[in-house]
Structures are given as structure tokens and as C-alpha cells.
Structure 1
Amino acid sequence: MIHPWFERPSPRVLAHRGLIPADADGIAENSFAAVAAAHAAGAAYIESDCHLTADGEVVLFHDADLSRVIGDPRPVSQVPLAELERLMAGIGGLISLRQALEAFPDVRFNLDIKSEAAAVPVGRIVAPHAERVLLASFSDVRRRTALEAADRFGRGMRPATSAGTATIGRVVSAMAMRSRPLVRRALAGVDALQVPERQGAVRIVSPRLIDAAHACGVEVHVWTVNDPLHMARLLDLGVDGLVTDRADVALREVAKRR
């Protein structure tokens, strides 16, 4: 049975941390304005990141601290929601996970859980929206913790999920051994492989990987792809999704193929 997150036709464009329009000035990634811009551009899928504030609210924010985005060295986990809202007010506005799910009811979210503390709260918040959420994390432990929380607080449907780093490592090893049974075992319970095309000297995405994943009913999404020629080449290869900072460009590239 196909999870509802995947019911829209592929290839999918996943707006990476929303969209900052080319003519925008002073808008931060993962801000309310960036999510709204991705939605306005026609992105049905938005990829974002989850951290927990000092007072226990899940917010869309990539980094563990505020240094790069705001110039404040404090960790997100030490800043209360109200203060973070004030700090983000001039650069697109803070958006919490609850706000994102409520304000954009037709968007499917791809959520990367960035901290252990956020895993259970994320699972609890997304539980009523499981049909339009995919949970991801580099940590398979965090990912599974969030899925289990969604099960506990949900209504019978679990969010979709993508493989963590350890699972991807097992898939790559199984591919090197040319063992389809080991690939299938590694991908059990996983809906998508979300991977870079290469990791250092190691090529991850190949026709063999795509075929093996598809044989297991698993999609392949590649990050982070911003060049139109690169997008076209990966789509020709048969990938199912592009995670991109330029969702507007990728949507035009995908539209050419429909």
C-alpha cells in the first residue's frame, strides 16, 4: 500500500528549507516567508528541519545554534520561543512545526529531526497529520523514536520515513556485494532513500541503486541539486525526487517532462 505522502505523481520537487526567491533580500531559510514562497511557487513538498526551543516548542531551524542565521552563538535549545520569534521577525519570521502544518494544509512536509530532544515532540505533533509527513534524520535512532511517538499519539497511520545514515551505509554495502536480499533487508520499513549523488569519492546514486530501491518499493531522492543541467541528468537517470534550494527552477524542469 502506497503511503499518502507519495500519492502525487513523481518526480517530486522538495523545496529545501523553503524557497528564498532570487530577488528576495534578507529572508532566512526555514522562515515563514521561505515556506510561503515555496508554497506560492507551487511546491507540493517542503523539506525542513526540527529543533526544540528552551520552552519545548518544535521550530523549523537547521542549525543547532543561531550563529549563522542570526549572529547569536546560543543554541536553539537555550532560547525561548518568544525570544526566537523576536530575533527572526526581520528576516522572514520564525515558523513552528505546529504553525507550518496548520498554515499550509495542502503541503507535504519532509522533516529532518536534528536533535534527540526534538524526536518525541515531533512525533506527537505530526501524529494527526501522518498522511502528509515524512520523517527523516541522519540518526536512525532519532527517526525511529519519532515514528514510535507518532504511533502512540496517532490515529492508526504512521508517517512515511526515509533512511538514516546507518541504513544507507548498509544499502551501499549490500550493493557492493551485489546482494538484492541484503538490500531488501536494509530497506525494510523505509519509504525513501534521500541521499547525495556522491559522498566524497563514493558514488551513491547510480542506475543500479535506483533499480534496486525501486524493486523494494522505495523511492530515491537526491540532495541538494540546484543546477538545471544537474537536475535534468538525474531525472533522466530515473530518480524520484530532487531536494533543491531552487524549487522554482526544479518545478519548471519537471514540468517539461509531464
Structure 2
Amino acid sequence: MADTTGTTTTDVAGRNELSIIAHRGFAGVYPENTLAAVEQATTGARQADLPEMVEVDVMASADGEIVVFHDTDLARVTNAPADLAEQKVWETPFETLSELEVLGTGETVPTLEAVLDAIPPEVGLNVEFKNPGSAAVRPRKNLPREVRETQKELWLDFAAEVSETLADYDHEILVSSFAEGALAAVREVAPEIPLAAVFATSITDGMEIARRYDCEAVHPPWNMISGTPLFNSEYGTLGPYEDIDLVDIAHSEGRAVNAWTVESWYQATHLRQAGVDGLITDYPGVVRFGDATAE
């Protein structure tokens, strides 16, 4: 399996393979963050399309279960009735979550433990921390010093529970988050787990957070990679960014660069040429057509 954590500069600089990380279990072709998605992504896909890692999102249910779910509320992904659709996931008991259908597929909201059971041990897992059960978390922020401890405390119990669950499995693990408090909490309760800082608003702020918690990887959006035709392209509300060579800086510090969320061979080709280490992608096979031109 390719090393997606980039623990040393030599590892990063010498890597020739591009790691594929199945975003929410290849959400472009399978129902996101479900057992069906991770099973199909890791066992049902053709051999050439098998990912090195699967990425899933985790948060807490109202009764403290670690569930695999991305959104804050239930409206987009589930068939929750109108009176529940806008309810926060962390305000909803797991029994209720487990009875909801995901994206009309018959799949339900799984636990992190169930997802780990479904993934072969040779495939890694990127666990993205979304919410520990509080509306007070502050993602996508380079936190001022005076609030860092308070933000970390919001995540500590959740980080400890997730870490204990992960410790029972042999998968290669990478924990990522937009929330600085989540990274701080994992560093405190399980310093052996590799971390990735997920970037959104600023390269400079993102690198400060990565250095603060000695993150093994950084996860920028695909339009944050300078020196490519993708740089500062329209991507939702993301950008524009400083003209900084993030790949060069991250590699010089021994950090891997995994770009999100890659949707096409065109993006994959230019990101590979720029030297990124991994692609967090919704689709298997995104590098297939770019291989000849990306070397």
C-alpha cells in the first residue's frame, strides 16, 4: 500500500505512486458514507481501481454513538420526515439514525465500527472528524491562542472514543479535520495517530495549523495548487488563494499533500504533474486516462 501520510521528507520526495483515497467510499458512484459504498469501493471495484484508502466522515449521535455521516442535518442524505429533516445529527439518537434510508438506496447510517469491519485490513481509512456533538465547534479557522484550549476540550471525549475504536483494527489510519480543535484533541489522546489538516480558506493559515500539530499530511482543495491551470479556478466558495507553492513547502517539511475532491481525469493529471501525493476522489479510475501525460 502506498504511504499516504508522508512521515518523512525522503518518503514524500521519493514517492512515484499517486495514492487514491475513495471520498466517502467513491461517492460519485456509490451511496456516500454507507456500508455498501465502502464494500463496493474496496472489494467490488475492478483491481485497477482499488483505493489505498477510504475516506469517511464521523460525528456523534445524541446518545454518543460514533456514526459515519457528513452533513450537519438529515435533510439532504436521508428520508427523514419533515419534522426531523432539519434536526442536527448529534441531536438524534442512533436508533433513529439507523432506521433512516440513505439516498433512496435501502442503506442506513452506519457506525464507524461497522465500516471498519467492512473494509479489508490492507486498505487504509481516512477518518475525517466532523462534529463531536456541539454547535460551538469552529471549523475552517486558524484559532487565536486564547480559544485553542476551549476548542480542544470540545473534542477530547469524542477523540478518545474514536481513537479507542481505531486501536482495535489493523488498518493504516489517517485522521483529518477542518477543525483545529479536533487535531489538537487527537494529538493529546492518541499522539501515535497520523493527522492531516484540511485546508479551505488560506494556505498560510493551513500550514500554521499543520505545523502547530505536526501533521503528517495536508489536504487542500484541488484549486489551491499553484502552477497548474486549476489554481484559483471556480470551486464553490473556495478561493482565491495566495500564490504560494503549497506542494513544495509541504514536501520540504515532510508532509504529504492529498488534494480534494477530485472529479475528473483532467484534474487528476494536472495535480499529479504538480507533485501531489494523493487524490481524494469521488470516482475510481480518475488517473487512468492521464497516466500517459502525467509522468
**Aligning the two structures, in what range does the TM-score lie when normalised by the shorter sequence?**
0.7 to 0.9
Q: Distance in 1 between the 2:269 and 2:188 partners? A: 37
Deviation of 1:33 (Å): 0.8
Match of 1:113 in 2: 129
SS at match of 1:111: strand
List alignment gaps of at least 5 residues for structure 2: 80-84, 134-157, 225-237
Q: Distance in 2 between the 1:223 and 1:185 partners? A: 17
TM-score, with length taken from structure 1 = 0.77
List per-residue Cα deviations over 1:156-190 (Å, max 9, x = no partner).
xx111112559x84x52699xxxxxxx79836611
Q: Distance in 1 between the 2:181 and 2:206 partners? A: 21
Q: Is the CA contact 2:265–2:290 (under 8 Å) kept in the aligned structure 1? A: no
List alignment gaps of at least 5 residues for structure 1: 152-157, 176-182
Q: Distance in 1 between the 2:74 and 2:184 partners? A: 27
| Cα 1:9/1:75, change in 2 over 3 Å | farther
2:177 matches 1:137 = yes
Report the AA paired with residue 55 of structure 2: E
Match of 1:29 in 2: 32
Match of 1:155 in 2: none
SS at match of 2:219: strand
Q: Is the CA contact 1:163–1:190 (under 8 Å) kept in the aligned structure 2? A: yes
The number of equivalent residue pairs is 235
SS at match of 1:86: coil
Superposition pairs of residues 70-85 of structure 1, within 5 angstroms: 70-71=78-79, 72-85=85-98
| Cα 1:84/1:251, change in 2 over 3 Å | farther
Deviation of 1:10 (Å): 3.3
TM-score, with length taken from structure 2 = 0.68
| Cα 1:50/1:185, change in 2 over 3 Å | closer
Match of 1:162 in 2: 196
Deviation of 1:44 (Å): 2.2
What's the RMSD between the two structures over aligned residues?
A: 3.3
Match of 1:233 in 2: 270
Match of 1:201 in 2: 240
Deviation of 1:222 (Å): 0.9
Match of 1:102 in 2: 117
Q: Is the CA contact 2:199–2:219 (under 8 Å) kept in the aligned structure 1? A: no
Report the AA paired with residue 240 of structure 2: A
The percent of aligned pairs where both chains have the same amino acid is 29
Q: Is the CA contact 1:124–1:149 (under 8 Å) kept in the aligned structure 2? A: no
Match of 2:215 in 1: 190
Q: Is the CA contact 2:218–2:258 (under 8 Å) kept in the aligned structure 1? A: yes
Deviation of 1:20 (Å): 4.3
Match of 2:279 in 1: 242
Report the AA paired with residue 195 of structure 2: T
Q: Is the CA contact 1:4–1:131 (under 8 Å) kept in the aligned structure 2? A: no
Report the AA paired with residue 146 of structure 1: V
Match of 2:234 in 1: none
